Amino acid sequence: MNYDPSNIFAKVLRGEIPVTTVYENDFVLGFRDIAPQAPAHILLIPKAPLPCLADASNPDHAAVLGQLMLAVGEVARQQGFAEDGFRVVINNGARANQTVFHLHVHILAGRDFDWPPG
């Protein structure tokens, strides 16, 4: 899939759209979701232009994905919900309800979650 630099997360990364930042390093930006689906709902986005998980296909993407997963744990600890539990969601593609085609990770916490989720 081709990356569209006009997507909302690319605009966030360029500073065109303000967010409430909770985490940032050289690879990842984390911020509060504007339409939270749980008491705590944080989005993590890579700073690299990667449309979706299925497009991660070269060795550079391994570092990006690793940084995303490390950031999940760091954010959970920083925000105080690591011990109680949290859900991590990546929607990949239109049928999975990915609406912004810039890879992103949802971290949801602060309530009980059911299984199966769908």
Q: Is 104 a catalytic residue?
A: yes
Count the alpha carbons within 13 Å of 94 in the hemisphere toward its beta carbon: 1
Q: Contact, 43 vs 105, CB < 8 A?
A: yes
Q: Which of 41, 61, 102, 104 is catalytic?
A: 104
The residues that are catalytic are 104
